[in-house]
Amino acid sequence: AQSVTQLDSHVSVSEGTPVLLRCNYSSSYSPSLFWYVQHPNKGLQLLLKYTSAATLVKGINGFEAEFKKSETSFHLTKPSAHMSDAAEYFCVTTGGFKTIFGAGTRLFVKA
Amino acid sequence: ETGVTQSPTHLIKTRGQQVTLRCSSQSGHNTVSWYQQALGQGPQFIFQYYREEENGRGNFPPRFSGLQFPNYSSELNVNALELDDSALYLCASSPDPGLASTDEQFFGPGTRLTVL
C-alpha cells in the first residue's frame, strides 16, 4: 500500500537560510508524489508534483524536490526562506482513487 | 474560472445530530473528493465521487455518506455525530479521477465542524 512519512513535525529556520522538509514514501510501483502547502485559514495549494518524469522537480515560490528511488525519499527544499513561507507542508501520494497525506511539517521562519 | 467553494464556513452541532456539508467543484471538473482534517493532523481521505458514483473510499464508517449531482457539486452527510467528528472538512475537485491521482487537486477553504 502507498504511504508517506514526514520525518519532522516542526522545522524552524531563520529568514534567508535554506529549508529542508523531509518525506519518505512507500510504494509498490512508481508513485505520484506531491507537496502541498496550507497557510492558516487558506486552502491547500499545490507546490509541486512528481509523476515519473524528471527526478528534480521545480515548483512555485522557489521550492523544489528531488525524487530519489534508492532512498525512497522526496524531500522539499528552498535555498532561502522567506517569512511568508511559514505554513504547514504536506507530502502526498496517491494509490488507486485514494489520496494519502503525510502528517504534515510545520515550518517556522524566524526574523 | 470559479474555484472550489464550500458551505457553510463554520458549523456547530451536538452529538447524535446529522450534518450536511456542501461543495461546488471548479468549473469543468467532474471529480470531487472529500477529506477530514483533525486539528494538528494531515487530511484523511473520506471518499471520491465521479459522475455521481462513489469510486473510492477511505477508512470511514458508513455514517459518512455522500452525493454528487449532475452539475458535479457534492454533499457530505454525516449521521449520528460523535465528538471525534470535530474537524475541518475539505473538498477537492479535479477534471478526471485518473488525473486526481497524477495531477493537481484543487481544494476549497473547508468547513469547520464542531461537535459538542
For the stretch A61-105, pLDDT in tens is 999 999 999 999 999 999 999 999 999 999 999 877 788 999 999
Reply yes or no on whether the pLDDT at A31 is more than 90: no
DSSP codes of every residue in A86-99: -EEEEEEEEETTEE
Burial label, B41 (beta-carbon count in 10 A; 0-12, 13-18, 19+) = middle
Partner A, chain B 15-34, Cβ-Cβ below 8 Å: 33
Closest residue in B to A4 (Cα–Cα) = B42
| Residue appearing with cell numbers 525512497 | A72
As a whole number, the mean pLDDT across chain A is 92
CB contact under 8 A, A96 and B104: no
A41 interface with B at CB cutoff 8 Å: yes
Given pLDDT bands bounded at 50, 70 and 90, which one contains residue B47? very high
CB contact under 8 A, A43 and B33: no
A47: amino acid identity, one letter: L
Residue A58 CA to residue B116 CA, distance in Å, equals 44
B103 interface with A at CB cutoff 8 Å: yes
Closest CA of chain B from A83, distance in Å: 21
CB contact under 8 A, B109 and A41: yes
**Nearest CB to B56; choose among A32, A96, A104:** A96
CB contact under 8 A, B109 and A43: yes
Per-residue pLDDT reduced to its tens digit, B55-102: 889 999 999 999 999 989 999 999 999 999 999 999 999 887 666 667
Per-residue model confidence (pLDDT) at position B87: 97
The mean pLDDT of A27-49, rounded to a whole number, is 88
Per-residue model confidence (pLDDT) at position A45: 93
Per-residue model confidence (pLDDT) at position A73: 95
Q: How many CB atoms lie within 10 A of CB A20?
A: 13
Task: Give every CB contact of residue B62 below 8 A, 6+ residues apart in sequence.
Answer: none
Reply yes or no on whether the pLDDT at B1 is more than 70: no
A54 vs A49, more confident: A49
Percent of chain B with pLDDT over 70: 93
A51 interface with B at CB cutoff 8 Å: yes
